C-alpha cells in the first residue's frame, strides 16, 4: 500500500498527518456507502415500477376450485419436435434449478419424464422473474406457460432430449419445503456409483421412512408401473383362459397352513386369524363348480425373518383349477400364464425395464416357451454332481436353490423353470402323493433367477385320504372339519399354486430387495408408513 510506504519514510510528522488521512478516508467511505444505498433503493424502486413482467409470475392462490379454467395442459412426454414453436401450458414439479446471471435453467418433471425449461431476461421475462424462478424450491409444483423450442444439441440429462421450453409465465401451485429429507438425485444414483466417488447415497430405511419422496424417483415410478403391468397381464391372460376372479375373506377362524406364523387379531369376544393364503377358499370354489379361479389379494405371514425376500404382508396371485386327467395340465396352464406375463412385460413395458436398469443394471430376463420342467430328483442329482451333499428327501435350502438356478441357467439359458415332484414329507398335508412312489408327491415349485416364486400341487380331493394325511401330520381334525367336509359331496381333481407379486417384480427386474417392489412394505421391523 502506498499509504504505508509514506508512513515509513516520514515517521516524525506522521502522527497528525495519519489521523487526518484516516478521517478523510472514513468520510469518503461513508459517502460511498450512502451513495450505494441510495442507488440500490432507487434501483429497487425503479424496478418495482418498471417490472413489466410482474403479472407473469408469482405464487398462485391456493387452488380451491374457484374457477374452472378451460386450459389444456400438455404432458411432458408429449413434448416432441412436432410441437416446436407452439405456446403451451404445463404443470410439473421443479426437479432442479440452476441460475446463471440473466438466465435460469429449470428441469421440470412429470413422473418419469422431464424437460429442460429456460427462464431468461428478455422482452417477455424480467430480471425479477428470473430471480423468482431461481428461488423456487425443488419439488414445488408449478404451472408454466412456455414456447417449445427445438434444440441443436441433445439434452442428455432429460428424457425429452430434442426440445426445451422457454418460459413466459410461471406460477407456483404448491410450494415444497426448502429442506428435503432426501435428494432425488441421491436416491436415483446408479448402484455402486456413490461408493466410488464418495457421493451421497440414500439407505433403504431413509427411503422407506420418506416413501412419498422416494416413490417420485424415475426408478420407483417404473417399478410400480411394471408391477401394475404384472397384475394386469395376470388378469388378462387368465380371463382369456376362462378363469373367474374371486374374492376371499382375509379374517379367518383357523390357521390355513399349519398353526405357526399366523397373525392373531381380536374378533369381538374371541380371536381370529389373518389369512396366510386363500388356499382353502379357492379350493372350495373349485368344489362349488367354478372350474378355474384366480384371486389377487393380500396374504399375511407372521414369520420373524428379516431377509431380502420376506415380507409379513404381500400380494398373492393365486390360481386354482380343476383338471381332467393329469396335474401337468395345471402346470402347463400356470407356466403359460407366466410366459405370457414375461412376454407382455418384454413387449409392452420396455421403457420401464430400461429405466430400472439404469439405476440397477441386470441381465434381461430369459425364458423358454414352453417352460422347462425338471424333476426334484434330477435337481438333487445336478446339485450332487456340483458337489453338494444332501439327502433324497431333504428340502432345498436357499443357497442350494440359487446354485440349482445357476446350473439350470448354464445349461438351458433360462431364468424360469419348474421343479416337479417334491418329496411328500416337505409339503403340506393336502398335497396329493405320487401314485408310483409314496415318498414323492404331485407338487411343484417355480423359480425365477434361482429363487422360488410359486409353490403348488395337486390337492387331495378325497375326504378320506385327506383325513388320513391330516392325522399323519398330527393336525387337529376338529379345526379343519369344514375344509374336509367340502370334499364329501363330490370334488373334481384339481391343483393350483400361489405366486408372490412382489417377488415376481423383484426377480424379473433383477433387484436385490423385496422392499423395493413393495410400495409400503411390512416386515417384522416396519409398520409405517
Partner 1 sequence: MSMYQVKPIYEGAIKADLPTCMYTIPSVHEQQAGSSHSEHAHQNGESDSAVRALEARQDEIMRKLVELKAAVDGLAKTVATPDADLDLTVGSSLASPSPTACTFSGTADLDALLGKDLGALRDIVVNANPAQPPLTLLVLHGLLCQRYRVLSAVHVHSSVSAVPAQLLSCLGAHQADGCARHLFQLGFTLIWKDVPKLQMKFSVRSMCPIEGEANVARFLFRLLSPDPTDAALATLVDSWVDTAFFQLAEGGAKERAAALRSLNGALGRHSWLAGPELSLADIACYCCAVHSGAAGAAPANVQRWMKACENLGYFSRATLQ
For residues 394 and 401, the answer to whether their CB atoms sit within 8 Å is no
Q: 264: which strand partners?
A: 273
Q: Please indicate whether residue 303 is annotated as part of the active site.
A: yes
Chain centroid to Cα 26, Å, comes to 65
Q: Which of 109, 427, 503, 515 is catalytic?
A: 503
- DSSP per position, 105-132: EEEEEETTEEEEEEEESSSSS-HHHHHH
Q: Please indicate whether residue 95 is annotated as part of the active site.
A: no
Q: Please indicate whether residue 13 is annotated as part of the active site.
A: no
Q: Which of 222, 247, 264 is nearest to 298 (CA)?
A: 247
Q: Which of 164, 168, 401, 452 is catalytic?
A: 452
Only one residue has cell 370334499, namely: 487
Q: What is the smallest separation between the CB atom of 404 and partner 1, expressed in angstroms?
A: 11
Q: Which is nearer to partner 1, 346 or 522 (CB)?
A: 346
For 315, the enclosing helix (H) or strand (E) is strand 313-322
Interacting residue ranges for partner 1, rule: CB under 8 A: 326, 328, 342-343, 346, 364-370, 372, 374-375, 377-382, 384-386, 407, 410-414, 436
Q: What is the smallest separation between the CB atom of 408 and partner 1, expressed in angstroms?
A: 9
Q: Which of 95, 301, 427, 469 is catalytic?
A: 301
Q: Please indicate whether residue 191 is annotated as part of the active site.
A: no
What is Dmax (Cα atoms) for the chain? 125
Q: What is the smallest separation between the CB atom of 374 and partner 1, expressed in angstroms?
A: 8
Q: Which is nearer to partner 1, 32 or 366 (CB)?
A: 366
Distance (Å, whole) CA 263 – CA 359: 36
Q: Which is nearer to partner 1, 39 or 326 (CB)?
A: 326
Q: Which of 91, 225, 310, 328 is catalytic?
A: 310
Check residue 462 and report its DSSP letter: -
Q: What is the smallest separation between the CB atom of 368 and partner 1, expressed in angstroms?
A: 4
Distance (Å, whole) CA 277 – CA 318: 8
Q: Which of 317, 338, 343, 353 is nearest to 226 (CA)?
A: 353
Q: Which is nearer to partner 1, 316 or 495 (CB)?
A: 495
Q: What is the smallest separation between the CB atom of 439 and partner 1, expressed in angstroms?
A: 13
For 451, the enclosing helix (H) or strand (E) is strand 451-458
List b or e across 399-427, with b for residues whose CB sees 16 or more CB atoms inside 10 angstroms. ebbebbbebbbeeeebbbbbbbbbbbeeb
Q: Which is nearer to partner 1, 328 or 526 (CB)?
A: 328
Q: Which is nearer to partner 1, 189 or 494 (CB)?
A: 494
Q: Which is nearer to partner 1, 375 or 393 (CB)?
A: 375
Check residue 519 and report its DSSP letter: S
Q: Please indicate whether residue 455 is annotated as part of the active site.
A: yes
Q: What is the dihedral of CA 187, 193, 198, 200, to 10 degrees?
A: 0
Neighbours of 396 (CB within 10 A): 22
Q: What is the smallest separation between the CB atom of 345 and partner 1, expressed in angstroms?
A: 11
Q: What is the smallest separation between the CB atom of 377 and partner 1, expressed in angstroms?
A: 5
Q: Which of 455, 512, 522, 526 is catalytic?
A: 455
- Active-site residues: which are they? 301, 303, 309-310, 452, 455, 503
Amino acid at each position: 500500500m502506498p499509504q504505508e510506504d509514506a508512513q515509513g519514510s516520514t515517521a516524525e510528522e506522521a502522527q497528525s498527518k495519519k489521523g487526518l488521512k484516516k478521517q478523510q478516508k472514513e468520510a469518503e467511505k461513508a459517502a460511498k456507502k450512502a451513495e450505494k444505498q441510495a442507488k440500490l433503493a432507487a434501483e429497487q424502486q425503479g424496478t418495482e415500477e418498471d417490472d413489466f413482467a410482474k403479472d407473469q409470475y408469482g405464487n398462485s392462490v391456493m387452488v380451491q376450485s374457484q374457477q374452472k379454467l378451460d386450459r389444456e395442459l400438455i404432458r411432458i412426454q408429449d413434448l416432441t419436435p412436432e410441437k416446436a414453436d407452439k405456446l403451451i401450458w404445463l404443470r410439473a414439479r421443479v426437479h432442479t434449478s440452476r441460475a446463471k446471471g440473466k438466465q435460469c435453467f429449470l428441469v421440470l418433471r412429470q413422473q418419469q419424464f422431464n424437460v429442460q425449461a429456460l427462464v431468461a431476461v428478455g422482452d417477455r421475462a424480467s430480471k425479477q422473474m428470473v430471480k423468482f424462478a431461481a428461488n423456487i424450491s425443488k419439488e414445488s409444483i408449478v404451472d408454466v406457460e412456455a414456447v417449445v423450442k427445438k434444440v441443436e444439441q441433445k439434452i442428455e440429462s432429460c428424457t425429452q432430449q430434442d426440445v426445451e421450453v422457454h418460459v413466459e409465465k410461471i406460477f407456483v401451485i404448491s410450494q415444497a419445503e426448502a429442506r428435503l429429507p432426501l435428494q432425488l438425485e441421491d436416491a436415483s444414483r446408479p448402484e455402486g456409483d456413490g461408493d466410488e466417488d464418495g457421493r451421497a447415497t440414500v439407505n433403504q430405511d431413509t427411503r422407506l421412512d420418506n416413501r412419498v419422496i422416494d416413490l417420485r424417483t424415475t426408478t420407483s415410478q417404473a417399478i410400480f408401473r411394471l408391477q401394475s403391468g404384472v397384475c394386469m397381464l395376470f388378469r388378462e391372460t387368465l380371463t382369456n383362459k376362462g378363469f373367474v376372479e374371486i374374492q376371499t375373506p382375509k379374517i379367518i377362524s383357523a390357521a390355513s397352513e399349519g398353526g405357526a406364523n399366523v397373525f392373531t387379531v381380536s374378533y369381538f369376544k374371541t380371536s381370529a386369524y389373518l389369512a396366510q393364503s386363500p388356499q382353502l377358499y379357492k379350493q372350495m370354489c373349485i368344489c362349488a363348480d367354478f372350474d378355474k379361479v384366480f384371486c389377487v389379494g393380500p396374504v399375511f405371514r407372521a414369520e420373524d425373518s428379516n431377509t431380502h425376500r420376506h415380507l409379513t404382508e404381500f400380494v398373492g396371485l393365486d390360481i386354482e383349477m380343476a383338471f381332467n386327467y393329469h396335474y401337468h395340465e395345471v402346470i402347463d396352464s400356470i407356466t403359460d400364464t407366466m410366459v405370457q406375463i414375461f412376454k407382455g412385460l418384454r413387449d409392452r413395458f420396455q421403457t420401464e425395464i430400461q429405466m430400472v436398469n439404469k439405476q440397477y443394471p441386470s441381465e434381461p430376463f430369459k425364458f423358454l416357451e414352453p417352460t422347462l420342467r425338471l424333476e426334484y430328483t434330477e435337481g438333487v442329482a445336478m446339485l450332487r454332481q456340483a458337489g453338494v451333499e444332501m439327502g433324497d428327501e431333504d428340502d432345498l435350502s436357499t443357497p442350494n436353490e440359487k446354485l440349482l438356478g445357476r446350473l439350470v441357467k448354464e445349461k438351458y439359458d433360462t431364468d424360469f423353470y419348474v421343479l416337479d415332484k417334491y418329496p411328500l414329507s416337505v409339503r403340506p398335508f393336502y398335497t396329493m402323493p405320487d401314485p408310483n412312489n409314496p415318498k414323492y408327491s404331485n407338487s411343484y415349485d417355480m423359480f425365477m433367477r434361482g429363487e422360488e416364486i410359486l409353490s403348488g400341487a395337486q390337492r387331495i380331493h378325497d375326504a378320506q385320504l385327506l383325513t388320513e394325511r391330516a392325522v399323519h401330520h398330527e393336525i387337529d381334525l376338529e379345526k379343519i372339519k369344514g375344509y374336509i367336509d367340502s370334499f364329501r359331496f363330490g370334488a373334481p381333481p384339481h391343483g393350483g399354486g400361489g405366486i408372490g407379486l412382489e417377488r415376481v417384480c423383484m426377480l424379473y427386474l433383477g433387484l436385490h430387495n423385496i422392499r423395493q417392489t413393495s410400495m409400503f412394505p411390512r416386515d417384522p421391523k416396519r409398520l409405517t408408513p
